[in-house]
Amino acid sequence: MNLKNYFNIAVIVLFVISSCKKNSAPPHPKPAPDVYVAGTVPIANLNTQATYWKNGVATALANNQSSSAATAITINGNDVYISGNIVSRDSYLVATYWKNGVLTKLTDSISDSNASGIAVIGNDVYVVGYTNDYNGLAHAICWKNGIATELPGNSFDSFATKVIASGTDVYITGLYNYRNSPTLPVYWKNNTPAILPFTNAGQFSAIAYTTADDIAINNNGVVYVLGNNANGSATPTTNYGTAVLWTNGVVSKFADTTENTFANAIALKGNDVYIVGSQQQNVNANVLATYWKNGTAIKLMDETANSIATGIALNGNDIYISGENANGALYWKNDVPIQLIKDNVSRTTGIAIMSH
């Protein structure tokens, strides 16, 4: 082979190597997700204002002429939905929700009502809460695209707390209150109620006030309902509150602890169960923001001041938790606190992530 051929081969090899380097350029990094936190901030005359924070920047959802509150948040595509309430001129609570900041009233202002949970399934918006009748009796309600349906199963007070969807099924948590009697935790599947048992071999108080506060369904159809059990004592001493978990209707303490525990939200990832809330050693100790992964507690704050975790969102390998501490509203990303406002009194009610 002559020098000319060697030269031609060398040129080809260099061209191929150069092309491979160009084609193997690293991909563009994935944009960071947007973090939305719903809650309330104080305004004049001891009122509160429904608010959400996007990446730490606050946006008011209602005017500052009267009180309002945000109770839950969810994201569907590029749209942000927040449930809550506003106070009418006649001083009634009015159930509401906001889509991208635009207010929709779900009831009139002739009796109290509240929206406490929201979910979006396709083009349908589900909001749950309660309305009071003229006698002051509360009725658990699910609004689908603004149309109210009373949830069945109780002749006394009833309240709906959270709503989710799994496939074509809609699940709603709540409680029945039989007036001067223990409350009964309940969930509805497609509007059919199932009262949840809350006594189990002495684990919980038989005379108790028990609520069902959140719900999640795994890929195998297992239903997890999160709630709280309180003994109802007027003078509690050491243990008066226990967070509980029903797995397909079977109740248990999800955390092996003698401390008071309070649970607010649940999320699932694969076989892992995440629960957020708080722990308290006794009635005289500070309440500490906590989350549990498969029953193992991770405390998010030290014991020098009160704190609480209110909501959770999972995104890839990241854990986002909304909450409050002595300074006010904040959230944690992978256990690292990010303060949203320092006013000592702002509150959060949930967190959601918008990926890009």
CATH value at residue 129: 2.130.10.150
Q: Taken in order 257, 335, 313, 269, is the CA torsion positive or negative?
A: negative
Residue 23: predicted pLDDT: 53
* 27, part of any domain: no
Contacts of 87 (CB under 8 A, 6+ apart): 47, 66, 67, 68, 93, 94
Residue 201 domain boundaries? 36-354
Beta pairing class for 93-99 and 288-293: unpaired
Segment among 52-56, 180-184, 226-230 with least mean pLDDT = 180-184
Residue 4: predicted pLDDT: 45
* 115, part of any domain: yes
- pLDDT range class, residue 190, cuts 50, 70, 90: very high
* 17, part of any domain: no
- pLDDT range class, residue 256, cuts 50, 70, 90: low
Residue 255: predicted pLDDT: 76
CA proximity to 289, closest of 198, 280, 49: 280
* 208, part of any domain: yes
Q: What is the mean pLDDT of residues 106-111?
A: 89
Residue 25: predicted pLDDT: 59
Q: What is the mean pLDDT of residues 350-356?
A: 95
**pLDDT tens-place string over residues 206-255:** 456 789 999 999 999 999 999 998 764 433 444 567 899 999 999 888 77
Joined tokens for residue 136? 């002051």
pLDDT tops 90 at residue 353: yes
CA distance linking residue 142 with residue 97, whole number of Å? 13
* 24, part of any domain: no
User: DSSP class of residue 163?
Assistant: E
User: What is the Cα 91 distance to its own chain's centre?
Assistant: 27
Residue 233: predicted pLDDT: 45
Contacts of 240 (CB under 8 A, 6+ apart): 230, 231, 233, 260, 283
* 18, part of any domain: no
Residue 282: predicted pLDDT: 74
* 256, part of any domain: yes
pTM exceeds 0.85 for this model: yes
* 45, part of any domain: yes
- Rounded to 5 degrees, φ, ψ at 51 are -145, 150
Work out the burial of residue 89: count CB atoms within 10 Å of its CB; fewer than 13 is exposed, 13-18 middle, 19 or more buried. exposed
- Per the CB < 8 A criterion, the answer to whether 254 and 241 are in contact is no
- Give the whole-number percent of the chain exceeding pLDDT 90: 65
Residue 179: predicted pLDDT: 67
pLDDT tops 50 at residue 42: yes
At 317 the three-state DSSP class reads coil
Q: How many domains does the chain have?
A: 1
Q: What is the mean pLDDT of residues 81-96?
A: 94
Calculate the average pLDDT of the chain.
86
pLDDT tops 50 at residue 259: yes
Residue 21: predicted pLDDT: 47
